[in-house]
């Protein structure tokens, strides 16, 4: 069933039982025909939503989209009223993903630009090999906590983990945080023990420029989900950054 | 008697570069170089040169090099120069030819015919720099099961002691006397720093090295040199040395001139006497006698240390190893035909024993067929040259390897095979006060830890490539090996398949 | 089968490699539920398989025969059936035998499938447990008989599997007709295209079943270790070794399932080093003794047996697993969407940490569900 609101150029699709290839083909067609926003209802596991769509479009997803949502995405804004599975934001170049729920593993793998906001917890290897390039600085903001290998060999960009839902005095459970990190920065609200951090990671207090960046990203996060920014900025933030841009300088014999 | 032997090497000196500093003269342990004041020139006795390269490395102007003597014999496949020269040497002396280091003959090196696997698509390779990669290995007897109903699990671990090594590479037995104290100290320090073991060999443990005893394997050999309660108590592992890959079936003979005051004190024998190791242990004439000695050592150490038994790889190693495990050994170390020595009869070194690759595969298979592989750890020794050899040994079934020659080479040895002379220019295989100072334990132990680090990093890379993040998942996992250029029988003994199959 | 390996692994690879999707649901009250949800859920992950294998393990299936071993046997010839039935009659009291009902479906080359309800003859058990006796007979038939393969041998449960997509295999076996309190399901993507019905998941021995996603890089040593304990890995697939490892550890060595999981997916040495006292002793000893059964490489498995379902991933979680609860039902799945399809509203949904088992049990009293601790106990 397809509903098109001509005035708003909004298309609504009931995706129940629709195979992903057909669904994504319909999205491409619709956008080519001037649709600016698509509401997708009853999504259950369809992959690659948001891939190969031009920048101006907006997707509103209801349900549980499949793996690789936003893979290679270059501009669209995708809002998910539900949970994300694995591999979302894979090699994303531009655009925004807003998940009103949690996300699975390898979120934002090799992401080079754009922003991802996840209200709840995220899985393993989130932000793995995120990188920055010239003016592009990707960002991921996570409301809850993360599983191990957060920011694994991170090469740029900003990861913020707010630790909402952790009890007073409860530390994040992830280990191997920032293992192999050689650029970029992770801001972690709450506590971890030294052994949970990768050996390439140093811990600092955020400075004024960092707070400015945090206020902006956390403000945007709070805006998406209806939180109060100041509440989210309260408490201790650890700034995790690589000790070296070349952590493996002594690895090889020449 | 005039010798008919030609010089094997020629020392070439670039007279334009030579500044007459006489470093070569001082560095050579074999008196090759000598300076003539009258004509301000340096001369060489080429026939004394063993090609150890000490002078070449230390010449400040790079004026020296060593070449093979290009002297040609009439081509003869049977009477090759080595055969002719060995024979002449015996005709001139009437003795047993001595040599040092390991077998140098072109027997197949199976390491070079085994290739490793790597993951592609169906299984991710694991990045060892950023993901955990575990090389820790526990050596010692394991039970066939854990019985939780039997109560406190800790009690079991104490009954069958386990020792941990952080990399599966240990230093082989090299006795004080064969090598200098500085060399043994370097090995001890590196083992301590890296979390592995050095092995005293059969020459006892010098008082000054007791501080490294947490990382020591002490040997009990047929000569029982330096074996006493304190020595046994200090060690983490006690090893009964039955044989050695370089000279299976024969004993040892440390000449009196190498038995200095310190060597004598450590071996607990009079200074200047020959230290003779009998060929067999005279309390072991059969397998039940081995069991008696194993349990004597377990009693002496109150069952707190694994007892290892080291044998040379010989024809029926599999059956022998099975007997050793049943006799109560916690570790079986097997030393292949390329294992080295400070001194051995050349005819033995070059003709007795079998390659370690075949021995370790056969022993692992046999112990599994008999259901007793859990009861002992296996250590492969003799001919491990690099980290790939280590990992192949483990895939064939070893828990860990011993390295001897590789460790000496790391400290400077150039494998000139003249260890038995005691004149080692590198200060390694000598107890001469002047020469042994050349090994500075600060530097030599650094070279050894660098070697362990480099190999360990490489092992992690190879494991990660195979999609494995703990060494125990490779141990005996021959699916990750393939053979090239091997007969069906060789493949069957190694338990590996032909590449491409 | 005379040569099971040749059937399953015609190219003679070390092991058959397969990727997959898996799904499981357990009603912890023991209430029997129909198969529709499991079939729909696994079908929703269609793209993770390639139609060369699908299967289900179903518990609480034969309440009329609770104390009999239910053998499911596939036959590729009448002669094979006659031979095996003679063998069964000489080794067991055969209470009942029938052809498993099937219908036309999009599966390829189906064999004839029979089921038998058996008990070992008392006199045949000479100082041996009935379970050990059954394991030995199953191994004998599967290595010694032509044209026959026992692929299910537990009590009050059954495995149904074959070559096709899992929804088609379910269609073939009319699984929507069955009711059970525990369902596990599997869709397979083998890299070896000559798929064989016996090679599909679940793999089972007695009432232990395993469905598996991933490739076990430690297979070579896992198998050699199990061979020391009399297991014949006849099919050369890594999933087979998991089933035998669980049988060895849980049934023969009597380890509780949470510790079995800590053998298969052992804590890192660094984690063990940070433990204290008895706990450290226990985990260190487990790893020292059973290191050869560590499953290395990426995997997610669902292990099931009577009244219990366990989800487990490798210790660095290279394969996905989502767990969820709704009321008394515990779900495990490769993808959350498959769970949401059959139960849009969930009480809890989470991804367990690598190596931390999710254990669901039929509650005698009340099941406790703990999303953070991952261990749900009755």
> Domains of chain B by range and CATH?
9-95 (3.30.70.20), 115-143+167-498 (3.20.20.70)
Q: Which residue has the tokens 């400075």?
A: A207
Strand-strand pairing, B331-335 and B307-312: parallel
Residue A94 belongs to some domain of the structure: no
**Cβ of B130 and A179 within 8 Å?**
yes
Residue A232 belongs to some domain of the structure: yes
Residue A6 belongs to some domain of the structure: no
Once rounded to an integer, what is the mean pLDDT over residues A46-64? 95
Look at residue C220 and give its three-state secondary structure: helix
Sequence-distant (≥ 6) Cβ neighbours of residue B400 within 8 angstroms: B137, B139, B165, B168, B169, B170, B377, B379, B380, B394
Residue C377 belongs to some domain of the structure: no
Secondary structure in 3-state letters for A234-251:
CCCEEEEEECCCCCCCCC
Q: What own/partner pairs with CB < 8 Å and gap ≥ 24 does A120-123 have?
A: A120/A83, A120/A144, A120/A165, A121/A145, A121/A146, A121/A147, A121/A165, A121/C350, A122/A146, A122/A147, A123/A86, A123/A147, A123/C317, A123/C351
Instruction: Share the mean pLDDT of chain C.
Output: 89
Look at residue A26 and give its three-state secondary structure: helix
Give pLDDT, residue C7: 58
Closest CA to B375 of B336, B298, B335, B322: B322
The number of beta carbons lying within 10 Å of the beta carbon of residue B274 is 12
Residue A8 has pLDDT above 80, yes or no: no
Rounded to whole angstroms, the Cα distance separating B16 from A254 reads 31
What are C31's two structure tokens?
A: 């209430």
Residue C371 belongs to some domain of the structure: no
Q: Which subunits sit against A, judged by 3+ Cβ pairs under 8 A?
A: B, C
Rounded to whole angstroms, the Cα distance separating C97 from C120 reads 15
Active site (annotated) includes residue C20:
yes
Give pLDDT, residue A57: 95
**Cβ of A180 and B127 within 8 Å?**
yes
Rounded to whole angstroms, the Cα distance separating B96 from B274 reads 17
From the list C20, C21, C233, C261, the catalytic residue is C20
Q: What sign has the CA pseudo-torsion B155, B165, B364, B471?
A: positive
Residue C95 belongs to some domain of the structure: yes
Q: With contacts defined as CB-CB under 8 Å, which chain C residues touch A65?
A: 337
Rounded to whole angstroms, the Cα distance separating B349 from B341 reads 9
Rounded to whole angstroms, the Cα distance separating A223 from A207 reads 24
C296 lies in which domain range?
4-361
**Cβ of C340 and A195 within 8 Å?**
no
Q: What sign has the CA pseudo-torsion B233, B267, B184, B401?
A: negative
Q: With contacts defined as CB-CB under 8 Å, which chain B residues touch A176?
A: 130-132
Summarised one tens digit per residue, pLDDT across range C78-126 is 999 999 999 999 999 999 999 999 999 999 889 999 999 999 988 888 8
**Chain A contact present for C336, CB below 8 A:** yes
Give pLDDT, residue B223: 92
Residue A47 belongs to some domain of the structure: no
**Chain A contact present for B453, CB below 8 A:** no
Give pLDDT, residue A3: 65
Predicted TM-score (pTM) of the model is 0.93
Burial category of B365 from C-beta neighbours within 10 Å (exposed 0-12, middle 13-18, buried 19 and up)? buried
Cis peptide before B384 (omega within 30 of 0): no
What Å distances lie between residue A28 and A31, A35, A50, A92, CA to CA?
5, 10, 9, 18
What are B222's two structure tokens?
A: 């047929």
Under 8 Å between Cβ of C357 and C258:
yes
Give pLDDT, residue B173: 97
Q: What is the CATH number of the domain that holds C240?
A: 3.60.20.10
Summarised one tens digit per residue, pLDDT across range A130-165 is 999 988 999 999 999 999 999 999 999 999 999 999
Q: With contacts defined as CB-CB under 8 Å, which chain B residues touch A247?
A: 129
Distance from CA of C166 to the nearest CA of A (A): 17
- Tens of pLDDT, residue by residue, chain B (501 residues): 899 999 999 999 999 999 999 999 999 999 999 999 999 999 999 999 999 999 999 999 999 999 999 999 999 999 999 999 999 999 999 999 999 999 999 999 999 999 999 988 878 899 998 999 999 999 999 999 988 876 666 555 556 899 999 999 999 999 999 999 999 999 999 999 999 999 999 999 999 999 999 999 999 999 999 999 999 999 999 999 999 999 999 988 888 888 899 999 999 999 989 888 999 999 999 999 999 999 999 999 999 999 999 999 999 999 999 999 999 999 999 999 999 999 999 999 999 999 999 999 999 999 999 999 999 999 999 999 999 999 999 999 999 999 999 999 999 999 999 999 999 999 999 999 999 999 999 999 999 999 999 999 999 999 999 999 999 999 999 999 999 999 999 999 999 999 998
Give pLDDT, residue C46: 84
Give pLDDT, residue B155: 55
Q: Where residue C16 falls among pLDDT bands split at 50, 70, 90?
A: low
Rg of chain C, C-alpha, whole Å? 19
Q: What sign has the CA pseudo-torsion B222, B223, B229, B233?
A: negative
Give pLDDT, residue C367: 40
Give pLDDT, residue A102: 97
**Cβ of C288 and B162 within 8 Å?**
yes
Residue C374 has pLDDT above 50, yes or no: no
Q: Which of residues 118-137 of B touch A (CB under 8 A)?
A: 127, 129-132
The number of C-beta contacts closer than 8 angstroms across A and B is 20
Helix, strand, coil abundance in chain B, percent, nearest 5: 40, 15, 45
- Backbone torsions φ then ψ of A235, nearest 5 degrees: 95, 175
Cis peptide before C202 (omega within 30 of 0): yes
The number of beta carbons lying within 10 Å of the beta carbon of residue C179 is 15
Residue A235 belongs to some domain of the structure: yes
Give pLDDT, residue B252: 84
Q: What is the CATH number of the domain that holds A178?
A: 2.160.20.60
Residue C374 belongs to some domain of the structure: no
Q: Where residue A250 falls among pLDDT bands split at 50, 70, 90?
A: confident
The number of beta carbons lying within 10 Å of the beta carbon of residue B115 is 15
**Cβ of A176 and B131 within 8 Å?**
yes
Please give the torsion angle defined by the CA atoms of residues B306, B310, B316 and B318, in that order, rounded to the nearest 10 degrees: 30
Rounded to whole angstroms, the Cα distance separating B393 from B375 reads 19
Edge-to-edge, what's the strand order for the sheet holding B169-171?
A: B169-171, B400-403, B377-381, B331-335, B307-312, B237-241, B216-220, B198-199
Residue C9 has pLDDT above 90, yes or no: no
Domain count of chain A?
1
Domain count of chain C?
1
Distance from CA of C67 to the nearest CA of B (A): 27
Q: Which residue has the tokens 């849009």?
A: C344
Rounded to whole angstroms, the Cα distance separating B419 from B99 reads 7
Residue C69 has pLDDT above 50, yes or no: yes
Q: With contacts defined as CB-CB under 8 Å, which chain B residues touch C285?
A: 146, 153-154, 156-157
What are A197's two structure tokens?
A: 């951090």
Q: With contacts defined as CB-CB under 8 Å, which chain C residues touch B476?
A: 220-221, 224, 292
**Cβ of A152 and B130 within 8 Å?**
yes
Residue of B119, B122, B136 lying closest to C191 (CB–CB): B122
Q: With contacts defined as CB-CB under 8 Å, which chain A residues touch C350?
A: 121
A109 lies in which domain range?
102-254
Summarised one tens digit per residue, pLDDT across range A193-205 is 999 999 999 999 9
Per cent of chain C over pLDDT 90 is: 75
Closest CA to A241 of A193, A175, A188, A171: A188
Residue of B129, B131, B454 lying closest to A248 (CB–CB): B129
Summarised one tens digit per residue, pLDDT across range C197-208 is 888 899 999 999
Beta strands in B128-209 (DSSP E): 137-139, 163-165, 169-171, 198-199
Q: Which residue has the tokens 């109150």?
A: B302
Residue of C274, C335, C354 lying closest to A66 (CB–CB): C335
Distance from CA of A141 to the nearest CA of C (A): 19
């Amino acid at each position: 069933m397809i509903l098109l609101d001509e005035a708003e150029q909004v298309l609504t699709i009931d995706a129940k039982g629709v195979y992903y290839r057909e669904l994504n083909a319909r999205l491409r067609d619709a956008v080519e025909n001037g649709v600016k926003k698509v509401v997708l209802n009853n999504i259950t596991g369809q992959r690659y939503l948001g891939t190969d769509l031009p920048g101006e479009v907006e997707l509103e997803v209801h349900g549980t989209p499949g793996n690789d949502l936003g893979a290679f995405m270059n501009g669209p804004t995708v809002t998910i009223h539900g949970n994300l599975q694995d591999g979302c934001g894979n090699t994303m170049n531009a655009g925004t993903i807003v998940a009103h729920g949690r996300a699975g593993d390898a979120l934002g793998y090799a992401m080079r630009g754009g922003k991802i906001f996840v209200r709840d917890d995220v899985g393993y290897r989130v932000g793995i090999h995120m990188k920055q390039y010239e003016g592009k600085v990707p960002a991921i903001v996570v409301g809850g906590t993360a599983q191990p290998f957060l920011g694994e060999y991170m090469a740029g960009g900003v990861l913020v983990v707010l630790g909402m839902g952790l009890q007073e005095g409860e530390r994040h459970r992830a280990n191997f945080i920032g293992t192999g990190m050689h650029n970029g920065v992770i801001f972690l609200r709450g506590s971890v023990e030294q052994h949970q951090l990768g050996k390439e990671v140093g811990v600092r207090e955020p400075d004024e420029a960092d707070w400015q960046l945090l206020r902006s990203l956390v403000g945007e996060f709070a805006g998406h989900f209806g939180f109060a920014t100041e509440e989210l900025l309260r408490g201790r933030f650890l700034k995790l950054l690589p000790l070296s841009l070349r952590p493996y300088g002594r690895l090889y014999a020449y | 008697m005039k010798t008919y032997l030609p010089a094997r090497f020629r020392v070439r000196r670039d007279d334009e570069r030579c500044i007459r500093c006489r470093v070569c003269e001082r560095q050579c342990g074999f008196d090759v170089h000598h300076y003539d004041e009258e004509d301000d020139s340096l001369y060489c006795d080429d026939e004394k040169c063993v090609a150890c390269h000490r002078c070449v490395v230390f010449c400040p102007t790079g004026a020296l090099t060593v070449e093979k003597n290009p002297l040609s014999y009439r081509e003869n496949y049977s009477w090759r120069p080595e055969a002719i020269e060995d024979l002449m040497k015996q005709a001139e002396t009437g003795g047993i030819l001595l040599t040092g280091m390991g077998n140098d003959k072109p027997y197949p090196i199976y390491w070079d015919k085994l290739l490793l696997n790597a993951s592609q698509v169906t299984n991710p390779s694991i990045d060892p720099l950023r993901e955990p990669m575990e090389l820790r290995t526990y050596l010692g007897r394991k039970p066939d099961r854990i019985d939780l109903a039997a109560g406190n699990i800790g009690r079991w671990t104490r009954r069958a002691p386990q020792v941990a090594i952080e990399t599966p590479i240990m230093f082989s037995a090299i006795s004080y006397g064969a090598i200098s104290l500085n060399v043994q100290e370097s090995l001890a320090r590196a083992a301590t720093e890296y979390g592995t073991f050095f092995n005293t060999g059969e020459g006892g443990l010098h008082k000054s090295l007791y501080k490294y005893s947490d990382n020591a394997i002490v040997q009990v050999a047929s000569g029982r040199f330096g074996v006493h309660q304190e020595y046994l108590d200090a060690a983490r592992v006690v090893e009964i040395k039955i044989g050695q890959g370089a000279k299976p079936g024969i004993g040892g003979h440390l000449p009196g001139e190498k038995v200095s005051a310190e060597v004598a004190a450590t071996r607990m024998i009079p200074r200047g006497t020959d230290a003779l190791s009998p060929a067999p242990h005279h309390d072991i004439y059969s397998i039940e006698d081995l069991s008696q000695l194993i349990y004597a050592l377990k009693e002496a150490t109150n069952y707190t240390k694994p007892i290892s038994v080291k044998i040379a790889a010989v024809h029926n190693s599999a059956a022998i190893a099975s007997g050793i495990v049943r006799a109560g050994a916690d570790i079986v170390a097997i030393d292949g035909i390329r294992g080295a020595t400070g001194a051995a009869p050349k005819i033995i070194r070059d003709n007795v024993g079998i390659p370690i690759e075949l021995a370790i595969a056969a022993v692992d298979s046999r112990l599994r067929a008999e259901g007793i592989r859990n009861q002992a750890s296996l250590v492969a020794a003799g001919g491990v040259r690099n980290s790939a050899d280590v990992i192949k040994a483990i895939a064939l079934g070893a828990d860990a390897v011993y390295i001897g020659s590789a460790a000496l080479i790391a400290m400077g040895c150039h494998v000139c095979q003249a260890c038995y002379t005691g004149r080692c220019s590198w200060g390694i295989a000598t107890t001469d006060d002047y020469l042994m100072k050349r090994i500075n334990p600060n530097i030599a132990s650094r070279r050894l830890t660098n070697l362990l680090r480099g190999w360990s990093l490489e092992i992690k890379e190879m494991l990660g490539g195979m999609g494995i993040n703990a060494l125990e998942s490779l141990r005996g996992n021959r699916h990750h090996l393939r053979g090239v250029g091997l007969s069906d029988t060789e493949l069957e003994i190694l338990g590996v398949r032909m590449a491409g199959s | 089968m005379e040569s099971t390996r040749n059937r399953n692994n015609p190219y003679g690879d070390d092991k058959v490699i397969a990727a997959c999707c898996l799904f499981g649901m357990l009603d912890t009250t023991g209430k029997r539920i129909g198969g529709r949800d499991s079939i729909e859920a696994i079908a929703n992950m269609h793209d993770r398989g390639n139609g060369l294998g699908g299967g289900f393990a179903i518990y609480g299936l034969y309440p009329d025969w609770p104390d009999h071993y239910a053998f499911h046997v596939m036959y590729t010839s009448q002669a094979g059936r006659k031979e095996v039935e003679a063998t069964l009659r000489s080794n067991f009291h055969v209470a009942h035998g029938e052809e498993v009902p099937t219908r036309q479906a999009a599966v390829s080359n189906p064999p004839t499938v029979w089921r038998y309800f058996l008990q070992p003859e008392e006199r045949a058990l000479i100082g041996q447990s009935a379970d050990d006796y059954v394991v030995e007979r199953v191994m004998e038939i599967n290595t010694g008989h032509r044209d026959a393969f026992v692929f299910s041998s537990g009590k009050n449960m059954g495995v149904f599997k074959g070559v096709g997509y899992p929804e088609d295999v379910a269609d073939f076996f009319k699984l929507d007709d069955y009711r059970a309190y525990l369902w596990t399901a599997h869709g397979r993507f083998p890299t070896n295209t000559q798929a064989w019905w016996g090679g599909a998941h679940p793999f089972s021995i007695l009432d232990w079943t395993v469905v598996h996603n991933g490739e076990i890089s430690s297979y070579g040593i896992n198998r050699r270790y199990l061979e020391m304990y009399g297991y014949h890995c006849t099919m050369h697939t890594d999933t087979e070794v998991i089933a035998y490892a669980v049988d060895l550890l849980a049934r023969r060595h009597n380890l509780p399932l949470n510790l079995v999981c800590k053998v298969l997916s052992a804590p890192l040495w660094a984690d063990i080093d940070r433990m204290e006292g008895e706990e450290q002793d226990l985990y260190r000893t487990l790893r020292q003794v059973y290191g050869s059964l560590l499953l290395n490489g990426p995997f997610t498995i669902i292990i099931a047996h009577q009244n219990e379902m366990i989800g487990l991933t490798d210790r660095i979680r290279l394969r996905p697993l989502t767990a969820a609860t709704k009321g008394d039902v515990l779900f495990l799945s490769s993808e959350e969407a498959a769970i949401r399809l059959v139960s849009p509203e969930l009480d809890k949904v989470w991804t367990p940490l690598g190596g931390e088992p999710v254990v669901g049990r039929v509650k005698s009293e009340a099941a406790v569900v703990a999303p953070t601790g991952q261990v749900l106990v009755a």
